[in-house]
Structure 1
Amino acid sequence: MASSRLERIGTIYTRVEGLLTRGAMKPDDRPLWFDVYKAFPPITEPKFARPKPEIKPIRPILYKEDAVRVKFHSNGHGLGAVNMMNPTSETHTKKLLQEYEILKNEGVPEHELIEKSAAIVQNERNIERQEVAKVKITSKNKEVSTPQTLAEADLKNIFKDN
């Protein structure tokens, strides 16, 4: 017996159901999926002898901005980290596309559109980074203790209630 042909006789569900009804398997030993399969059976039963489904070719789905995205990413623009915790933040590629459309409507030549829109978005990124750095610096400065504050501290009464 090199191989078993049991998969051709019935589905795994019918075989487990048969074991349960005949007492060969205890109801406590049934698989976790059995009750789910019984409650929500598939539309078409997964049999071995079922004919293969017709293979339909996948339609290419392309949008107008996909060509612009290709240009951006092939030049190395738009490859930045995305903050997934902030639902209002936009991806760098989306910002690039918005700037691209604005510049296109203004009449900027086609060969300059990508570089100019990438430069604008890069400047915005730099400004955001500087703002974040300023916030970090100011928050760190508040916690820094200077010799003057240490001299003024009353260590004997620090834990007493006021």
Structure 2
Amino acid sequence: MASSRLERIGTILTRVEGLMKHGGIKPDDRPLWFDVYRAFPPITEPKFARPKPEIKPIRQILYKEDIIRAEFHSMGHGTGAVNMLIPGGETQTKRLLHQYEKLKSEGVPEEELIQKSAAIVESDRQEAIAARSSKIVAKNPESATAKVLAEADLKNIFEEK
């Protein structure tokens, strides 16, 4: 079978049809794709001897925001975690673009836009982190878990006392 050239004769559809016609495959055991293939045949028949398609160069698609994003990420910003469970949650990059447009409309010079936008987004992120950490409040402040959480210092968690 190693020297078989049968894959060059016909298409996969004609071979499966032949197997079904001659009893090699029962109609109930036909592949899942068979009915879909018959209902929606390809525009170009997938034959082995088909000539190779013309290779066209891929056109670059760049938006104005892509340049801003590239500069922002090259400065080391925008790599924060994103909670995918929150629909409509904004990434740092999206917040930067909003700040960038806002500052640009206010007339901030072009060379300072990225730095100022990044600084604003970073300060907003720090405030959000501080607000989230201060929101951790136990339901029962006298429980053992609440006492442990109150004494927990995550920055120095691995230091011995």
Taking structure 2 as the reference length, the TM-score comes to: 0.79
**Residue 146 to residue 11, structure 1, CA distance change in 2 (3 Å):** closer
The separation in 1 between residues aligned to 2:143 and 2:31, in whole angstroms, is 67
The separation in 2 between residues aligned to 1:114 and 1:3, in whole angstroms, is 63
Mean CA deviation greater in 24-33 or 5-14: 24-33
2:46 matches 1:40: no
Choose 1 or 2 for highest CA Rg: 1
2:117 matches 1:120: no
Mean CA deviation greater in 33-42 or 44-53: 33-42
Deviations 1:86-130 (A, max 9, x none): 222211101111111222232323332222111111111112112
| Corresponding residue number in structure 2 for 1:145 | 142
Unaligned 5+ runs, structure 1: 148-162
| Within-5 A mapping of 1:62-141 | 62-136=62-136, 138=137, 140=138
Cα offset, 1:64, TM superposition: 1.2
For the residue of structure 2 that corresponds to 1:34, the secondary structure is: helix
Residue type of the partner of 1:120?
A: I
Unaligned 5+ runs, structure 2: 145-161
Taking structure 1 as the reference length, the TM-score comes to: 0.79
Residue type of the partner of 1:145?
A: E
Count matched residues. Answer: 144
For the residue of structure 2 that corresponds to 1:36, the secondary structure is: helix
**Residue 93 to residue 10, structure 1, CA distance change in 2 (3 Å):** same
**Residue 22 to residue 115, structure 1, CA distance change in 2 (3 Å):** same
Residue type of the partner of 1:82?
A: V
| Corresponding residue number in structure 1 for 2:17 | 17
The separation in 2 between residues aligned to 1:5 and 1:90, in whole angstroms, is 55
User: Aligned-residue CA RMSD in angstroms?
Assistant: 2.0
